[in-house]
Structure 1
Amino acid sequence: MKNFIIIIYNDDREIKRGFEEDIISLRSVIKTSEDVEKALIESDFKTLRIGLNSRNLIRTIEKIEESKPCLIFNLCEAFNGDSSLESNVAAVFELLNVAYTGSPPSVIELTSDKEKTKQLLLQNNIPVPAGLSINTVQNLESGIWNLQFPLMVKPQSEDGSVGIDSDSVVFNFDALKEKFEYISDRYSQPVIVEEYIDGREFSVSIVGNNPPHIFPVAEIDYSNIPPNAPKILCYKSKWMKNSDSYRHTPSVCPANISTEIENDIKEVALKAFEITGCRGYARIDIRLDNNNTPFVLEVNANPDISIGDGMAKSAGADGWSYNKLIKGIVSIAIERFNGNKN
């Protein structure tokens, strides 16, 4: 149906691992779906929002087949609280041969695995923090022999800073072992251990593929955190708006950087975007070392696009209204789908 878009987000009533507070980031997508729907309606689209879970999966598929939308606006970041199933949702849209926003399942699966993403970037000469993925505590000491403390410790396959807190930067082996066991026990997955880069942190939002459009670079302002605290964007910093961590780590866009550094950051971000196969839109997180070399921390193929945050904030700094951003994402997805059919 022309001009009819179904917005599908993950309705996570249950969480399978981690802490109860981890559901905050998963449920934030409901607010994003409302923002997107409002923007689409104001752009003269007809809409339907569906919160996807195991109870209505079959009915949702039937609804897509019956209504024949021109597009699925895919906001699913998990399925039944399990972020490892995020790529499977996009795979359903592929099987239904329906246009949908964002990256294909293969890219979502790749970028959800921090270790696989790092290895791919390394193979293409894109700097990433030195580190490795470790499965068992028995391999911990031998695995880190060539790494320098302090080290960053985080789950391999979570996003939205799930599993990251103020103790995620460790300065000795005992603290590393304790943090490793904590993450392994809570999230039941391998653990990324990598050298902590104590430098400025940036995010680069990119939309489109032919050609990609890079929004102004945003910087995380760590100037208000305590002097001895590690400069990291932990879970509280991203999601718990009443916390000091959130208040003390605002995003500044455009970042106050030289044209040379900005160009270097954008160049590395664009390479990461293209090498990982991101489609439609994505966000690349980057840190500078002491030599102002950009290191890619993460490639987010399904980033937050809620009003006033992340990508929307960067788009606004480029003169894009929120409605223009959402309509642009829609146009890119439809054009790509129609192009693939020809």
Structure 2
Amino acid sequence: MAASTKSSKIDNNVSLGPVEDLEKYVKADWWRHIFNANYLRTDGDVVEDKTITKDEVDLFTEILSPAQDSVILDLCCGQGRHSLELAGRGFTNLSGLDRSHYLITRARTLNKQQKFNVNYKEGDARKLPFPTDTFDYVILAGNSFGYFESDQDDLRVLREIIRILKPQGKLLIDVTDGSYVKENFQPRSWEWIDKQYFVCRERSLSENEERLISREVITHVKKGVIADQFYAERLYSRNSITDLLSLASFGKIQLHSEVKTESKRNQDLGMMEKRIIVSAVANKDWTPVKISQGQKKTVGVLMGDPNLSDIIKPDGSFDQDDLFTINELKQALANLPGYNFIYFNQHDKLIQDLLKKRDKLDFVFNLCDEGYDNQATKELHIPALLEILDLPYTGGNPQCLAYCYDKSLVRGIAKGMDIPVPKAFVIKPEDISFIDLPLKFPVIVKPNFGDSSFGITQDSVCYDLTTLENAILQVREKLGYNQPILVEQFLTGKDISVGIIGNPPESYHALPIIEEDYGKLPSQLPHICGYEAKWQPDSPYWQITSVPANLPEETEQFLIASCIKLFNRLECRDYARFDWRLDANQTPRLLEVNPNPGWCWDGHLAKMAKIADISYGQMLGKILQAAEERIGVVTPRSRFASLNSVEEALPITLPHIE
């Protein structure tokens, strides 16, 4: 949620033509998709005007009188114009939050360019990713309130603000004057934004007259209609906004001088034309600190079984390198403050061991990427078991692991989301002829089911039918794989990985993007990071290193935005890694999604973290913290208490909006 008002986009940028009832076309979550480059283009004469921003911040600071070391949140901050202005004035403890990935990315870029230290997060104002009793002030500026379809959600936002404010902390809201807009909105308007873009607007009141419904058609002189958008905002009067603040437990509510905005290009200002400024104080006491038993959380660490065979590993079993990696993990975890760790790695008695310790565990760190009984097809059995035992855990749920184990399924989901993938086709076990090959060589052969680069070697890259048939034969006979095989266009561009720790959109950290450096690889070998690079130290592929990716800014933004979409669509949790490759036109194409990616000290995720000056132990700590925030860690005793002790929430009645 950013400043001003916009909406969701019609598929394929096709205009609907004349519409009689605008309200029927407004999506409930219009605010999720609209705040992008078009928003900054159409509203730029206000939200990109430094003089307007300076004047608004002058007014806000005059009302609030904050000290320069005050802890301040710029909520629904858009591209960060108010928080960056405050940073330029010497305020040192600033944060910003917005739902738009595009605008938050821009805010972070500007923050970095200007060498400020504002902490920007992407998230939903109804569920703020900040601890209780954190902020001295929250500023909700630029008419960013009243976007939700339900007024219950507006109340949720205010109650979240109460939670994160310190006792007697102050909120400032800058919201459109609903009474004025009802009487003075323009039913139709149009304007040239510049010599290339033209915008037409239609407006009407909703059926209950509580929201202003707007339509905006943006046209480019050469491209035609690029957006046909519908959006809606609730119209608060002075009385209704103060009533809502009172219901949310704010006190000392004050109405301040109005804000009137002028456009340098004489634009139709719509909801930004005349606004109400309201301040209020959080009527609350300090929240009691909850101390868990023994001051430390007890975490079960669930791993593969070193006493069982594992067909993924070169010798079919755990070797000295595996044991060294496990010891590095245990040492790193032992150095994390605030935790006690209990390890579970004997699968023949795993259920019994978990039942014995269940009442002592706060949650489980699921590092069993080998799968139950070290069988990759049973990786999803582990979280399924934890759910049956009602034990919270880190990482993907069974459905997520099932999705991502199937490469062709992930490809189909990505294509449906307009995320590019390489051209490919699937060979079923009964297929024996490839005369009508639908792809041009070179291609790469991959088992459709699996991870850890199982079945992907230098011989998987094929340059003609003969090498293709040999590669398929090798997977079928040598590896005993009798499942569908994916034959994919082999891309020769940069080999890229993107890592995310956290849970978008509320709170996440996109790690530095890395690419594989094939500079030391003999020229005759294909550039792939396959099985040899991960499991065979005597292979030339062991020389591959990972380095920071050298990519254009717009490519990085596209990659991170796409990964966040996939993260949410595939139900990843707490951390994930996404593998991409650039094609001949430098377009990134998705290869795989890895929920619960490799946790090893020298794995890809750890390499990304190291580039960001995050140690191996700190990386593990961030994953644990992400899980704690998501599941809301409670003491084991309360988790297994009788359900009869749970109280039913009382219904909420909201004041009538004038």
Q: CA deviation at 1:122?
A: 1.1
Distance 1:139 1:127, change over 3 A: farther
The CA deviation at 1:279 is 0.7
The offset of 1:138, in angstroms, is 2.5
**Are 2:312 and 2:452, in contact at CA under 8 Å, matched by a contact in 1?**
no
Return the match for 1:219 from 500, 509, 515.
515
2:578 to 274, 281, 284: 284
Match runs of 1:1-342 below 5 Å:
2-15=296-309, 20-21=314-315, 23=317, 31-44=324-337, 45-53=339-347, 55-65=348-358, 67-77=359-369, 78-138=371-431, 140-141=433-434, 145-185=437-477, 186=479, 187-209=481-503, 210-247=506-543, 249-252=544-547, 254-338=548-632
* Deviations 1:189-243, CA, capped at 9 Å, x for gaps: 2211111111111111101112322110011011222223211112111122343
Deviation at 1:315, TM superposition (A): 1.3
* Offset, 1:274: 2.5
Does the residue aligned with 2:365 lie in a helix, a strand or coil? strand
TM-score (norm 1): 0.90
Deviation, structure 1 residue 80: 2.1
Contact 2:362 2:633 (C-alpha < 8 Å) held by counterparts: no
Work out the CA distance in 1 between the residues paired with 2:310 and 2:605.
28
Residues 291-332 of structure 1: CA deviation (Å, up to 9, x unaligned): 111101110002112223311121121122222221111121
Does the CA contact (< 8 Å) of 1:13 and 1:81 recur in 2? no
How far 1:35 moved relative to its partner? 3.2
Quote how far apart the aligned CAs of 1:184 are: 2.3
Q: 1:20 to 1:223 in 2, by over 3 A?
A: closer
Q: Are the structure 2 counterparts of residues 52 and 140 from structure 1 closer, same or farther at C-alpha, using a change threshold of 3 Å?
A: farther
Structure 2: tracts of 5 or more residues without a match: 1-292, 640-645, 647-658
Shift of 1:288: 0.6
Q: Is the 8 A contact 2:408 2:448 kept in 1?
A: yes
Structure-2 separation of matches of 1:337 and 1:299: 23
SS in 2 for 1:179: helix
Structure 1: segments with no counterpart, 5+ residues: none
The 8 Å contact of residues 10 and 80 in structure 1, kept in 2 or not, is answered as: yes
Tell whether the 8 Å contact from 1:268 to 1:294 is kept in structure 2 after alignment: no
Q: Note closer, same or farther for the CA distance 1:141–1:337 as it changes in structure 2 (3 Å cut).
A: same
**1 CA distance for matches of 2:386 and 2:322?**
19
180-189 or 200-209, which deviates more? 180-189
- After TM superposition, give the deviation of residue 14 of structure 1 in Å: 4.2
Tell me how far apart the structure 2 counterparts of residues 203 and 145 of structure 1 sit (CA, whole Å): 29
The offset of 1:33, in angstroms, is 4.1
Say if 2:367 and 2:599, in contact at 8 Å, map to a contact too.
Answer: no
Secondary structure, in 3 states, of the residue corresponding to 1:38?
helix
Cα distance in 1 between the residues matched to 2:324 and 2:297: 22
CA contact (8 A) 2:310 2:317 kept: no
SS at match of 2:507: coil
Measure the CA separation in 2 of the matches of 1:339 and 1:4: 11
Is the Cα–Cα contact under 8 Å of residues 309 and 318 in structure 2 kept in the other structure?
A: no
- Letter paired with 1:323: G
Q: What TM-score does the superposition give when structure 2 sets the normalisation length?
A: 0.48
> Equivalents in 2 of 1:19, 1:220: separation in Å?
22
Distance 1:244 1:11 in 2: 30
Q: What amino acid is the match of 2:378? A: L
Structure 1 residues 23 and 272, CA, compared in 2 at 3 Å: closer, same or farther?
Answer: farther
| Cα displacement (A) at 1:280 | 0.4
Give the conservation status (yes or no) of the 8 Å contact 1:184–1:191: no
1:16 positional shift = 6.8
Q: Name the Cα RMSD after superposition.
A: 2.5
| Corresponding residue SS for 1:128 | coil
* Secondary structure, aligned partner of 2:388: helix
Q: Which has the higher contact order (CA 8 A, sep 6+)?
A: 1
Q: How many aligned positions are there?
A: 336
Amino acid at match of 1:317: I
How many Å apart are 1:28 and its aligned residue? 6.4
CA distance in 1, matches of 2:461, 2:374: 26
- Given that residues 272 and 284 in structure 1 are in contact (C-alpha distance below 8 angstroms), is that contact kept between their aligned partners in structure 2? no
Alpha-carbon distance in 2 for matches of 1:84, 1:29: 21
Name the one with the larger strand percent: 2
Question: Partner letter of residue 231 of structure 1?
Answer: H
Between stretches 30-39 and 96-105, larger displacement belongs to: 30-39
Higher-helix-fraction structure: 1
Identity of aligned residues (%): 30
Cα separation, partners in 2 of 1:282 and 1:145, compared to 1, 3 Å: same
Tell me the SS of whatever aligns to 2:499. Answer: strand
Q: Secondary structure at the match of 1:56?
A: helix
Aligned-partner Cα distance in 1 for 2:427–2:585? 29
Q: Secondary structure at 2:459's aligned position in 1?
A: coil
Range with greater deviation from structure 2 (113-122 or 305-314): 305-314
Distance 1:37 1:101 in 2: 17
Deviation at 1:148, TM superposition (A): 1.4
